[in-house]
């Protein structure tokens, strides 16, 4: 889990902010690298889009997926590779150690239990570098 980057608590930021999943993913990636929680593994910002929705998370190679927007850490699951299983989703842990509210709602489920055939765009960006892989319809 990620520690607060400062001595304050960030509950209010997460409860009332208008940050979107891209913003949260960048924060998570930055804090993971700052706290060296990646064990030297690459940290990616990953986006999947369909015609009706898009979602962005942080992935650590060999570790798993971190969704700052929904406060979900899913060990050994890599968002860009495949849809999640029910067990993986139900067993997700909080990303942040100071904020225990997780959003395992119907809305967040659609981003994880996606249909591969509906994905129109995939982007993997190595955080802190200019390496980028993307696909477009």
pLDDT per residue as tens digits for the range 58-89: 999 999 999 999 999 999 999 999 999 999 99
Q: Which of 43, 97, 34 is nearest to 71 (CA)?
A: 97
Query: Which range scores top for mean pLDDT: 2-16, 22-36, 82-96?
Result: 82-96
Q: Using one digit for the tens of pLDDT, what is the confidence trace for 29-62?
A: 998 988 889 988 999 999 999 999 999 999 999 9
Q: What is the maximum alpha-carbon separation in the chain?
A: 45
Stated as kind and residue range, the H or E segment containing 72 is: strand 72-75
99 phi and psi angles, rounded to 5 deg: -140, 105
Residue bearing tokens 């608590």 = 9
- Domains of the chain by residue range: 11-136
Mean pLDDT of the chain: 85
Residue % of the chain over a pLDDT of 70? 80
Give me 1's structure tokens: 């889990």
Q: What is the pLDDT of residue 105?
A: 87
Task: pLDDT band for 13, please (50, 70, 90 cuts).
Answer: low
């Amino acid at each position: 889990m990620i520690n607060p980057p400062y001595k304050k608590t960030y509950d209010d930021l997460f409860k009332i902010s208008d940050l979107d999943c891209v913003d949260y993913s960048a924060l998570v990636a930055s804090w993971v690298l700052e706290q060296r929680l990646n064990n030297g593994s690459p940290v990616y910002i990953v986006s999947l889009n369909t015609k009706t929705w898009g979602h962005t998370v942080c992935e650590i190679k060999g570790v798993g997926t971190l969704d700052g927007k929904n406060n979900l850490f899913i060990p050994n699951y890599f968002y860009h590779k495949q849809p999640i299983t029910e067990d993986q989703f139900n067993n997700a842990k909080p990303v942040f150690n100071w904020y225990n509210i997780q959003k395992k709602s119907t809305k967040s489920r659609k981003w994880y239990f996606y249909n591969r055939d509906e994905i129109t765009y995939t982007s993997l960006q190595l955080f802190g570098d200019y390496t980028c892989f993307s696909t477009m319809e």
